[in-house]
Structure 1
Amino acid sequence: MTDPRKDQPDQLKPLPDDWTRALAVVAHPDDLEYGCSAAVAAWTDAGREVAYVLATRGEAGIDTLEPARCGPLREREQRASAAVVGVSVVEFLDHADGVIEYGTALRRDIAAAIRRHRPELVVTLNHRDTWGGVAWNTPDHVAVGRATLDAAGDAGNRWIFPELVEQGLEPWDGVRWVAVAGSSSPTHAVDATPGLDRAVASLLEHRTYLEVLTEEDPETYARDFLTGFARTTGERFGGRPAVAFEVFPR
């Protein structure tokens, strides 16, 4: 007799929730809104602190806008987007959009942010070369994702980037997990149900970008995109719409 469980996808575990502070580190405005923000809304609802750090201002992201105009506009949209899900702290590292280089300079900047914010949970975006082996990832995502995974350790070692101590940033070895969104190998998930409508509203704050990206009505596009992914993930999370993460314990 065939075991019906063999046809069931592996179930995702609930993301640990015994933490109070999270830091999300990504490359561009809108990176977090394409999937993470429903989880962020649930976390802030529960009284947890979440801060955003972006490596760039997304200034090279809209072909019809030169970077000098595009960067400030996308920064404003990102701050408004974060506010929708209860995030008031949004920082920009001012690396150049499209040409972020993985290396010690990027690791140092992210380690410094981790020392400033002292999170237990660090969130970042897919650091692998592809999205599920189907679409090629961008160099910016790969660089920032990898550097964030590395910087979680750098932040706790006083002998790596000792100049940070001289700047008053003492080591922080309190990162317990790095959670990678957009991974093709997720291990954990967060129930998206309470925050899904706000996630859609949060993505819609990037209206200038969306209007260039798609010919669909922006609200229809945002809702279909986010609810579709949440429902698919939910098939591995007890049928509840969910946001998936690959979690690396530390």
Structure 2
Amino acid sequence: MPLPDNEIERVLAVVAHPDDVDFGSAGTMAGFVQAGLQVTYLLCTYGEQGGFDETPRDQMPAIREAEQRAAAAAVGVDDVRFLSGYRDGWLEPTFELQREICRVIRQVRPQRVLTQSPDRFWDRLGASHPDHLAAGEATVRAVYPAARNPFAWPELIADEGLEPWTVQELWMMAHPESNHTVDITDDFDRKLAALHAHVSQTGHLGDGLEERLRQWGTTVASGGGLGEGRLAEAFRVVATG
């Protein structure tokens, strides 16, 4: 079982693209914020390959950054960070990406890190975009052992004063073996608002977006044993030791 929220002060969410955190966990994030937790989002790319219209590709990074910041604000998150130099569709769990994530872990010093599953979910292949797998794998490697190890990228200490930090637990979205369900019924409107903010990605869905989210949320809630009429998000939670 995860630690209770009153034992957590800071949460870092690391994802591949704008909107990933909102599809997978916006309701949960809204709950964290309302519980008084400080939440930071870290985006590995600007999602320039996304979208469903003729928007010039060179405009998409700025559009998607603005959308993600608006979506974060809808659930009460104001610390949103983007890495630079990583291309949408080309993400790999390189040592460079691991170091960038390790740097932010040591800056934020979260007790809880949420990311995407590095394990492919064959029943929901769309959730296992290669960039999602890469972001998840790089984050897991950064959480353990790099962020806590003073001998991993010692320049982070020598040049930036970023001392090692031990993350206490890891939450993974879209994992094929989830073990924790969060009831988001009371925060569903915030999740919906967050996803409506991603106009370039969800605008074409119209009212179908809410229908889709309610269907997903109901299925997850049922699988998690919640009562009728509830909506939920699911995670694989791992204590990092």
TM-score exceeds 0.5: yes
In the aligned structure 2, how far is the partner of 1:179 from the partner of 1:147? 14
Alignment partner of 1:238 out of 207, 215, 226: 226
In the aligned structure 2, how far is the partner of 1:109 from the partner of 1:71? 19
In the aligned structure 2, how far is the partner of 1:52 from the partner of 1:78? 10
The residue that corresponds to 2:152 in the other structure is: 160
Report matched runs for 1:102-121 at 5 Å.
102-121=93-112
**% identity of equivalent residues:** 38
Instruction: Name segments (4+ residues, structure 1) moved above 3 Å.
Output: 13-16, 133-136
How far does the alpha carbon of each residue in 1:39-74 deviate from its partner, in whole angstroms, 9 at most, with x for none?
A: 000110111111100001111213623332000010
2:111 is matched by which residue type in structure 1?
A: E
Alignment partner of 1:36 out of 1, 12, 25: 25
Assess if the C-alpha contact under 8 Å between 1:115 and 1:172 holds in 2: yes
Alignment partner of 2:183 out of 188, 191, 194: 191
1:237 is matched by which residue type in structure 2?
A: G
Alignment partner of 1:141 out of 125, 132, 145: 132
Q: Considering only CA atoms, is the larger Rg found in Structure 1 or Structure 2? A: 1
Assess if the C-alpha contact under 8 Å between 2:14 and 2:43 holds in 1: yes
1:190 is matched by which residue type in structure 2?
A: V
**Partner SS for 2:61:** helix
How far does the alpha carbon of each residue in 1:141-188 deviate from its partner, in whole angstroms, 9 at most, with x for none?
A: 111001111111211101011111121211111x11110011121001
Q: Structure 2 regions of 5+ residues with no counterpart?
A: none
User: Given the two structures, how large is their TM-score scaled by the length of structure 2?
Assistant: 0.90
2:87 is matched by which residue type in structure 1?
A: A
**Partner SS for 2:20:** coil
Alignment partner of 2:212 out of 225, 232, 244: 225
Report matched runs for 1:66-77 at 5 Å.
66-77=56-67
Assess if the C-alpha contact under 8 Å between 1:131 and 1:183 holds in 2: no
Could you say which structure has the higher helix fraction?
Answer: 2
The residue that corresponds to 1:172 in the other structure is: 165
User: Given the two structures, how large is their TM-score scaled by the length of structure 1?
Assistant: 0.87
Shift of 1:131: 4.3
Assess if the C-alpha contact under 8 Å between 2:121 and 2:174 holds in 1: no
Q: Structure 1 regions of 5+ residues with no counterpart?
A: 1-12
